[in-house]
């Protein structure tokens, strides 16, 4: 079986795949047109985010048997089309969930305690204690929105902070952890002090956090998004930050992370978001540690091995 890797991966990936008996081509610099010219000869594809594996792509890949996504999300994969064609979908949320959970908690603590602001000011020779007085996390209600691999990992790290942890997941009726309470959506709107998003990007969740959604919360809250940027409308976020309905936000992802493609209005909103003292933004690195870089490979290899033995 021939397998092609079209994105940069930790160098351990090719030898491990060859150890499973696969013939591996590693082309991390290949572009989309070049991929389409040769994909028809491969049975396996490993991808991060370089291409959308949709009907147009799959029409050029008649021999494809599996697609492995090096990460958690599958929003660049047309899962319905892949399933219709009987192509196995493999992803690796277990590979970066711990890294993402630690980053999420780090963002939250920095946001509440203004660590990012205070550090910047001291480095600018400003010593402002009162302006940087923080908020304790203890005693707050943290809502985990989406209780899969990522949400569970975040909850486990929060349980020692003296918070009430509630979770909403439309696909779950029960959970194993006794320190988390699975609640209906109405309870999320009524009780939340901190909302942490851990849901995939789908047509249903695109711009889920919009004006209508935010208006349903009964009290001001902090927003953390380490899931997908398109889930949160930056326009709505900016408005409700100005209205103090959202007390602060920590974002690892944005609606459009390709800044050179923003139109004038989008750029203006982004600039206002960036300049807000209520916002922390990191460049899509929540799941991107040295350890997760290796661990994603390990998860994929194990799942591909199980697939080949079916």
Kindly list the catalytic residues. 228, 257, 284
CA pair distance 235, 253, nearest whole angstrom: 15
8-state DSSP, 180: E
Pairing of strands 23-26, 2-5: parallel
Most distant CA pair in the chain, distance: 64
| Packing angle of the helix pair 93-113, 290-308 (nearest 10 deg) | 150
The SS3 assignment for 189 reads helix
C-alpha distances (whole Å) from 69 to each of 33, 51, 191, 248 are: 20, 11, 36, 32
Q: How far is CA 247 from the centre of its chain?
A: 22
**Secondary structure of residue 122 in the 3-state scheme:** helix
Q: Are 89 and 268 in contact (CB under 8 A)?
A: no
Strand order of the β-sheet with 221-225 is 180-182, 164-168, 141-145, 194-197, 221-225, 246-251, 279-281
- Strand, coil or helix: what is 285? coil
For residue 99 the two structure tokens come to 């890294």
């Amino acid at each position: 079986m021939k397998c092609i890797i079209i994105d940069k991966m930790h160098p351990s990936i090719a030898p491990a795949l060859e150890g499973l008996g696969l013939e591996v081509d590693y082309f991390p610099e290949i572009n989309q047109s070049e991929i389409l010219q040769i994909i028809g000869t491969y049975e396996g594809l490993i991808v991060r985010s370089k291409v959308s594996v949709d009907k147009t792509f799959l029409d050029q890949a008649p021999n494809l048997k599996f697609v492995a996504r090096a990460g958690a999300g599958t929003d660049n994969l047309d899962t319905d089309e892949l399933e219709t064609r009987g192509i196995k979908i493999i992803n690796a949320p277990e590979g970066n969930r711990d890294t993402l959970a630690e980053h999420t908690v780090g963002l939250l603590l920095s946001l509440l305690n203004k660590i990012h602001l205070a550090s910047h000011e001291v480095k600018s020779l400003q010593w402002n204690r009162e302006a940087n007085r923080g908020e304790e996390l203890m005693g707050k209600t943290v809502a985990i929105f989406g209780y899969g691999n990522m949400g569970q990992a975040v909850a486990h790290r929060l349980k020692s902070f003296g918070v009430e942890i509630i979770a909403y997941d439309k696909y779950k009726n029960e959970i194993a952890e006794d320190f988390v309470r699975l609640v209906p959506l109405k309870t999320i709107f009524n009780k939340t002090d901190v909302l942490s998003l851990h849901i995939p990007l789908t047509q249903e969740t695109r711009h889920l956090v919009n004006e209508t959604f935010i208006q349903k919360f009964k009290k001001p809250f902090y927003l953390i998004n380490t899931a997908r940027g398109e889930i949160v409308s930056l326009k709505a976020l900016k408005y409700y930050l100005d209205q103090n309905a959202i007390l602060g936000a920590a974002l690892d992802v944005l609606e459009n992370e390709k800044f050179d493609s923003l139109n004038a209005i989008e750029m203006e909103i982004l600039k206002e978001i960036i300049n807000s003292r209520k916002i922390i933004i990191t460049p899509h690195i929540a799941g991107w540690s040295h350890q997760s870089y290796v661990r994603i490979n390990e998860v994929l290899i194990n799942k591909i091995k199980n697939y080949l033995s079916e």
